Every structure is written in C-alpha cells, then in structure tokens.
Amino acid sequence: MSGDLAGLWVYLATSPLASLTATLVAYQAASWLWARAGMTPLLNPVLLSVVMLVAFLTATGTDYRTYFAGAQFVHFLLGPAVVALAIPLYRQVQTLRQSAGAVVAALLAGSVTAALSALGIAWALGATRRTLLSLAPKSVTTPIAMGISEAIGGMPSLTAVLVILTGITGAVAGPWLLDRLRVKDPRAQGLALGVASHGIGTARALHLDEVAGAFAGLAMGLNGLATAVLVPLLVHWLLPG
C-alpha cells in the first residue's frame, strides 16, 4: 500500500499534469475570493495565486523547474496574448486620433519617468545591478516587461513579480493621488493609471469611468511599445555593462 502511494507521488511530482492543474485551480480559487471580496485591488488574483502556489511548492518540496515543466503550457500563451493586444488597441484608434499629440507627449514623459524613477531610487538605496535591470521595465504589462528584462540582462521572473506589485500599488494609491493633484479629466486619469500600472491600473480606471478605462488600455499598450524601445537605450547609457 505504501509502495503504491510512493509510486503515485513519484508520478504526480514529475508529471506536468499536476502543476498545470494546480495553476488553474489556484487561479480560479483566487478569482473567486477576489470577486467575493468586491474585487478589491489588494486581493489581486495574480498575487493571490502566486502566494498559494509558492506555499504549495514549498510544502511539497517541489522545485520551480519541475513546476514550470507543467505551467509552461499556460506561460506559452502570453506571446499570442500580447499579439492579440493589437485588437483593443485598434479599437481605440479614433479616440487616440482626437488627442494624439497630448497622448504621445504625456506617454513619453510617463514612460521615461517610470524607468528613471525606479532606476534612480533603487540605485541610490544600493540595489544590485541585476535588481536594477529587473526593475527598469516594471510599469509595463508582464509579458512585455519580461521580454525587456530578458533582453537587457535582468531576471524575467523577478520582473514579473515586481510588475504585479507595481500594478497593485498604482491601483490602490493612484485614484487617491489623482484626487490630491486635482486631475479631473478622465483622459488624464486613465492615461496616468495605464502608463504607471498597466493592466491592473487599467482595470481600476475602468471602475472610475469609461473614458478613463479606454485611455488606460491605450496607455498600457503604447507604453509597452515605448518602454520596449526606451528602456534598453536608457540602460545602455546609464548602466553600461
């Protein structure tokens, strides 16, 4: 009997099926909890799933490589999903055209600020080079940020976590800050949330106002593109390796 159990354990621990299933179960449990709690940004489903899965891997003594052998099937879909972001971006073309000049200028200002503030603050407080490189693309949506991080020599998995924490920070504190700054135009509110905190900020902006949501989605897509070009150049100048 115990031999059967041990055999079963060996199968579960090495088969990709178990970690793929665990990923989907954790995400759905997290989404359910998040919805039950009124979709509060503090219970972000990504953060919650990650915490659950890390606890699960630690408890079962499974290493990340074994886990990823199964979870890679989910991870792989990030590529086509980024390509598919072209669809909502295309839908916003009309909105974009009407204030294209302001959008481009504010976007570039925000994109450069996001990278420089992260690099400057972390550098001043003594972060290591790999941490700096992993922080630089923190304001863009995860798949793009991970791609940039990998391209400049950061740690994509660390970047993924930093991106998610950045999104939660913006979603929680952003509306409060915008109120303090007396920024009332929903186009400016949405653009700021989308530039600084990508998809999680966009979800928050959609709760504020429909126009804010549209501008946040637009800002997220465009900032992904701007950051992918700007961050490697900034890193090349500021942190020549």
Footprint on residues 137-176 left by another protein (CB under 8 A): 138-139, 142-144, 146-148, 150-152, 155-158, 160-166, 169-170, 173-174
- Report, in Å, the least distance between residue 209 CB and another protein: 14
103 touches another protein (CB under 8 A):
yes
Q: Which of 4, 94, 125, 241 binds another protein (CB under 8 A)?
A: 125
Provide the terminal-to-terminal Cα distance of the chain, rounded to the nearest Å: 57
Mark residues 55-84: x for contact with another protein by CB under 8 A, - for none: --xx-----x--xx--xx-xx-xxxxxxxx
The one-letter code for the residue type at 198 is H
Buried b (16+ CB within 10 A) or exposed e, 97-136: eeeeeebeebbeebbeebbeebbeebbeeebeeebbbbbb
CA distance 226 to 140: 9
CA distance 218 to 80: 18
Q: Which of 13, 188, 208, 238 binds another protein (CB under 8 A)?
A: 188
Q: Which of 41, 154, 199, 213 binds another protein (CB under 8 A)?
A: 199
- Report, in Å, the least distance between residue 2 CB and another protein: 29
Question: Site size for another protein, by CB under 8 A?
Answer: 111
The backbone region for 115, taken as left when phi is positive above 0, alpha when psi lies in -120 to 50, beta otherwise, is alpha
- Closest to another protein by CB, 1 vs 236, is 236
Cβ(218)–Cβ(135) below 8 Å: no
Q: Which of 18, 41, 45, 213 binds another protein (CB under 8 A)?
A: 45
- Closest to another protein by CB, 13 vs 225, is 225
Whole-angstrom Cα Rg for the chain: 20
86 touches another protein (CB under 8 A):
yes
